[in-house]
Amino acid sequence: MKDFGDNMLFSIVIPVYNVEKYLNECVESILTQLESIENDCEILLIDDGSTDKSARICDDYASRFPRLIKVYHKRNEGLLLTRRYGFRKASGKYIVNCDSDDLIEPNMLRIVRDIIYKYDDPDIIIINYNKYNDVKKTIAFENIFTNEHACLVNKQDLLREFMLGHSVVSVCGKIVKNSCINIDMDYSEFGRLSTGEDTLQSIEFFSNAKTCVYLNEALYDYRCSSGMTAKFDANYYFTFKMIFGAIQKQRDNWRLSNFEELFAIKVLQTAGRAITQSRLKKWDSFLNHKKYLQEICKDDLLNDNMKYIGESMKYLQFDHYILLILLKRRLYSMIIVLLYCKNLLENKNK
């Protein structure tokens, strides 16, 4: 851990890879509000070996704002290691994570700064965020821990919420004290994660944090049209299996009384999404789709946690629950038909 003493307040870490279409909008959403915090921040643009004009855009910003914006060019390693690289270069007391195709809301930094002062330097501030499709914004989560504007959050409540759903998973939905990040922690075993980077990073943040504030205001805009929400990842479930191992290592540290049940919910939610997500692929044959489902069905970790599916029902999407029951009974054909029907309904309503 590093000691940051009286250094600047915010380091805004932005991993950059082939986002020439969105990068200007992202950076400008930050620049327009810096006066309200007396420029008490730095912006770190970490170019992960971009092959489009992104690197040039980064350099242009650095030349225009040399005291404010720092640019680092590195070989392509993927989002996880690029973000970690940014953490190592950051000198601010708090890390603000921002993806290069997203935006931050006007006055976000001032509002967060005021919360930091009000609550005496909490380790983590969790904010709400919007889903943004280039046309309209829809709030993803709100009133997670309170209906009020802000509150202190008990760490056990924070960890339970993390295990039960997705409301506090997003890395960009957290402002994290730099001292809570172990910059020497080795993530090389995870390689180029295709998914789950937010979950993995959150494990470290939550494990090291002692105090947390929830700010019940949507201050970040996640551009869902450019993310993974409309894509099929054949390795989705099995990538998360690696991350589940990292969660299991925190069993004694987190001291959650019902850790086994909470862990099972996390596994079942992920398996449910992996099944549902398979409808987004244009399978070349019924048999190949069936093989994909069979691979998930025979997974030992999933089978070990299926015993909690009854207790987990209220924490699962209803369609995920039904699909998991069908998977447990090896009714692969019925699953494929239901997913096909869901596609037909969606296409009809477009």
User: Would you kindly state where each structural domain of the chain is located, as residue ranges?
Assistant: 10-226, 236-349
All residues at 6 or more sequence positions from 251 whose CB lies less than 8 Å from its CB, including other chains? 259
Residue 211 pLDDT: 98
Check: CB of residue 126 under 8 Å from CB of residue 153: yes
Residue 158 pLDDT: 98
Q: How far is CA 209 from CA 123, 174, 279, 310, 336, in A?
A: 5, 12, 39, 33, 43
- The model's pTM is 0.92
Give 58-65 contacts, CB < 8 A, sequence gap 24+. Answer: 58/16, 58/23, 61/27, 65/31
Check: CB of residue 131 under 8 Å from CB of residue 137: yes
What is the fold, at CATH topology level, of the domain defined by 10-226? Spore Coat Polysaccharide Biosynthesis Protein SpsA; Chain A (3.90.550)
Helices 155-164 and 197-208 pack at an angle, to 10 degrees, of 170
pLDDT (tens digit, 0 to 9) for every residue of the chain, 350 residues total? 344 345 799 999 999 999 999 999 999 999 999 999 998 999 999 999 999 999 999 999 999 999 999 999 999 999 999 999 999 999 999 999 999 999 999 999 999 999 999 999 999 999 999 999 888 999 999 999 999 999 999 999 999 999 999 999 999 999 999 999 999 999 988 888 878 999 999 999 999 999 999 999 999 999 986 443 457 889 999 999 999 999 999 999 999 999 999 999 999 999 999 999 999 999 999 999 999 999 999 999 999 999 999 999 999 999 999 999 999 999 999 999 999 999 998 887 76
Check: CB of residue 206 under 8 Å from CB of residue 122: no
Residue 192 pLDDT: 84
